């Protein structure tokens, strides 16, 4: 593809922006895990680490039948190297995110040119939900990176038909499948299909190298499929969500994506068919309005075949598919971010300089974000550290530079200020807001109490009340959940019970007594 070839901004400025973003990402490694999917997934990996059973996925309810193993294997491996810490749990996602940013650069370069790829990488790295995925860590950072990598490799294979791209595409697809199932295969496959239609290279459909790609992919996913066979096919007595005799192989190869699409795993925003359209506005901030505009123009001229079909094909198909699914969560949008970043960058490089509204728009978005920062960091959770103030001054200086530098024109300023505001936002979120907010999360703070940390409480004597769990407590005490026995009250004075205060009456009625 052709496009603007001259340097958009200097390499030194790119390095400076990526350096600041990298520092912000690094601060997120030390934010305590949140008591939702993040701490929950960390405990599945913790079970592997403590028991040595890397084939089984087990959470507080027993067998965990939802997502594949790769994310948990990576976390468990990090525990062995760095110990059981939030840093260790989050590090693999950060490393994959770096791969995802680089892959997005290469995807943009292959579809357009080097400058478009560099800007696409910067857009992805500074988008709200992509940064958030490295703080509130689930599978999304790894999944997005695998999709970006596989997409890059497939585009290069379609262009050059090289064996190295066959192996690379198979690797990316297999790692993505091993992270979150078939969606990791579907997204790059949709993009590749539209790119072939755009290229009109019909002979590639019968290229025998596809068979090798499929074979390598099958070999790559074999460990995950085999583990599902071990945990479920060989153990029909295992019960998950009220069902036994589970065919684990069939589930991971076919049913996992179908059940999530049908809403059998939850009902979040089930009937909100515009959920992802409005969620995209904040998830891809501060680039979302530009992305929508670029997509509109691309669809308007779609049949003229002026530009590639990979990126709009991915965005439209995936948004439609996830919008009609029965289970919706905002972070599902991350899988289209590499394509959205390249599409946005391509429009900016080709036509953005002529858009007089671009800088006012991005300044308006920056103003909204700064207003939110003021509310949560100077009213709700005031900054208490001079070091944080010093860091804030430095990040604000970068923002002011983007506004006032005579070395940047208005177009360049609008891009740099967009990145700078995200650096400011997540610097304060990761150093001030989240650390203060999570002081109100009971589990991790209880785990840090001196009597727990210094071993005054025997972890083997800590029990959990029926139906109650605290993933963060279990993680930060490096212990497995032990539910209190149903048979009779425990004897002895050194037993401890973790429970919700609302269950106090039920506990007393069951015959358990509190030591005074």
pLDDT digits (tens, 9 = 90+) for 31-42: 999 988 999 999
Residue 430 lies in a domain: yes
Indicate whether 127 and 201 sit together in one domain: yes
DSSP letter, residue 240 = B
Residue 36 lies in a domain: no
Cβ-based burial of 297 (10 A; exposed 0-12, middle 13-18, buried ≥19)? middle
Indicate whether 433 and 478 sit together in one domain: no
Out of 17-31, 48-62, 150-164, 317-331, least confident range: 317-331
Query: Which pair of tokens denotes residue 71?
Result: 């994310």
218-228: average pLDDT: 98
Indicate whether 402 and 294 sit together in one domain: no
Band (pLDDT 50/70/90 cuts) for residue 489 is low
Indicate whether 390 and 483 sit together in one domain: no
Output the pLDDT for position 466.
85
Indicate whether 120 and 269 sit together in one domain: yes
155-168: average pLDDT: 97
Output the pLDDT for position 3.
46
Nearest to 27 by CA among 370, 334, 424: 424
Q: Could you give phi then psi for residue 462, rounded to 5 degrees?
A: -95, 120
Band (pLDDT 50/70/90 cuts) for residue 499 is confident
Output the pLDDT for position 215.
98
Percentage, residues of the chain above pLDDT 70: 93
Indicate whether 83 and 138 sit together in one domain: yes
Indicate whether 242 and 273 sit together in one domain: yes
Q: Which residues touch 245 (CB under 8 Å, ≥6 apart)?
A: 236
Band (pLDDT 50/70/90 cuts) for residue 4 is very low
Top pLDDT among 221 and 489 is at: 221
Output the pLDDT for position 492.
59
Output the pLDDT for position 462.
84
DSSP letter, residue 510 = T
Other C-beta atoms closer than 10 Å to the C-beta of 499 total 18
Bridge partners (DSSP) of residue 44 are none
Top pLDDT among 252 and 406 is at: 252
The structural domain count of the chain equals 3
468-489: average pLDDT: 81
Tens-place pLDDT, residues 115-128:
999 999 999 999 99
Indicate whether 495 and 417 sit together in one domain: no
In the predicted structure, residue 69 carries a pLDDT above the cut 80: yes
310-319: average pLDDT: 96
Top pLDDT among 445 and 284 is at: 284
Crossing angle for the helix pair 114-125 and 337-351, to the nearest 10 degrees: 130
Residue 405 lies in a domain: yes
Determine contact, residues 467/506, Cβ cutoff 8 Å.
no
Output the pLDDT for position 184.
97
380-396: average pLDDT: 95
Residue 50 lies in a domain: no
Residue 59 lies in a domain: no
Output the pLDDT for position 411.
94
Indicate whether 122 and 213 sit together in one domain: yes
Residue 48 lies in a domain: no
Residue 54 lies in a domain: no
Output the pLDDT for position 505.
86
Angle at alpha carbon of residue 95, lines to 90 and 177, rounded to 5°:
85
Top pLDDT among 499 and 290 is at: 290
Average pLDDT, the chain: 91
Residue finishing a domain among 349, 365, 384: 349
Out of 20-24, 149-153, 222-226, 475-479, least confident range: 475-479
In the predicted structure, residue 2 carries a pLDDT above the cut 50: no
Placement of tokens 């965005």 in the chain? 315
Tens-place pLDDT, residues 394-407:
999 999 999 988 88
Tens-place pLDDT, residues 165-193:
999 999 999 999 999 999 999 999 999 99
79-98: average pLDDT: 97
Residue 60 lies in a domain: no
- Which structural domain, as residue segments, surrounds residue 503? 443-509
Band (pLDDT 50/70/90 cuts) for residue 456 is low
CA–CA distance, 469 with 490 (Å, rounded to integer)? 19
Placement of tokens 């036509």 in the chain? 351
In the predicted structure, residue 436 carries a pLDDT above the cut 80: yes
Indicate whether 455 and 476 sit together in one domain: yes
Output the pLDDT for position 51.
95
Output the pLDDT for position 268.
54
Indicate whether 119 and 257 sit together in one domain: yes
Output the pLDDT for position 243.
92
Indicate whether 85 and 162 sit together in one domain: yes
């Amino acid at each position: 593809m052709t496009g603007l070839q001259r340097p958009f901004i200097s390499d030194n400025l790119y390095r400076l922006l990526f350096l600041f973003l990298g520092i912000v990402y690094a601060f997120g490694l030390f934010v305590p895990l949140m008591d939702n999917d993040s701490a929950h997934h960390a405990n599945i990996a913790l079970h592997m680490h403590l028991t040595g059973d890397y084939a089984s996925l087990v959470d507080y309810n027993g067998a965990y039948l939802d997502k594949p193993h790769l994310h948990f294997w990576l976390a468990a491996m990090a525990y062995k190297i760095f110990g059981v810490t939030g840093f260790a749990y989050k590090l693999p996602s950060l490393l994959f995110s770096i791969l995802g940013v680089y892959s997005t650069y290469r995807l943009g370069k292959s579809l357009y040119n080097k400058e478009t790829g560099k800007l696409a990488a910067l857009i992805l790295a500074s988008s709200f939900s992509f940064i958030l995925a490295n703080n509130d860590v689930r599978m999304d950072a790894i999944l997005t990176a695998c999709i970006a990598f596989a997409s890059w490799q497939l585009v290069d294979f379609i262009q050059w038909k090289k064996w190295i791209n066959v192996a690379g595409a198979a690797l990316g697809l297999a790692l993505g499948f091993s992270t979150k199932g078939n969606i990791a295969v579907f997204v790059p496959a949709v993009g590749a299909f539209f790119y072939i239609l755009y290229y009109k290279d019909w002979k590639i459909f019968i290229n025998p190298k596809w068979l090798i790609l499929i074979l390598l992919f099958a070999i790559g996913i074999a460990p995950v499929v085999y583990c599902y066979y071990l945990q479920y096919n060989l153990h029909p007595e295992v019960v998950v969500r009220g069902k036994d005799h589970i065919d684990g192989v069939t589930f991971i190869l076919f049913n996992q994506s179908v059940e999530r699409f049908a809403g059998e795993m939850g009902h979040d925003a089930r009937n909100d068919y515009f959920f992802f359209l409005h969620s995209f506005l904040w998830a891809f901030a501060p680039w979302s309005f530009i992305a929508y505009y670029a997509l509109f123009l691309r669809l308007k001229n779609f049949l003229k075949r002026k530009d590639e079909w990979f990126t709009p094909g991915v965005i439209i198909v995936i948004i439609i598919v996830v919008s009609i699914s029965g289970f919706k969560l905002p972070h599902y949008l991350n899988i289209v971010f590499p394509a959205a970043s390249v599409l946005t960058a391509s429009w900016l490089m080709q036509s953005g300089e002529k858009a007089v509204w671009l800088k006012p728009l991005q300044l308006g978005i920056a103003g909204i974000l700064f207003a939110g920062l003021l509310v949560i960091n100077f009213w709700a959770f005031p900054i208490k550290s001079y070091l944080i103030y010093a860091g804030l001054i430095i990040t604000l200086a970068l923002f002011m530079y983007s506004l006032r530098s005579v070395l940047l024109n208005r177009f360049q300023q609008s891009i740099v200020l967009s990145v700078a505001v995200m650096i400011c936002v997540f610097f304060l979120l990761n150093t001030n807001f989240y650390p203060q907010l999570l002081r109100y999360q009971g589990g991790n703070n209880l785990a840090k109490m001196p009597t727990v940390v210094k071993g005054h409480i025997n972890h083997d004597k800590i029990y959990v009340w029926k139906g109650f769990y605290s993933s963060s407590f279990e993680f930060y005490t490096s212990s497995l959940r032990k539910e209190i026995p149903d048979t009779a009250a425990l004897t002895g004075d050194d037993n401890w019970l973790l429970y919700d205060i609302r269950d106090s009456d039920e506990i007393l009625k069951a015959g358990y007594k509190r030591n005074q």
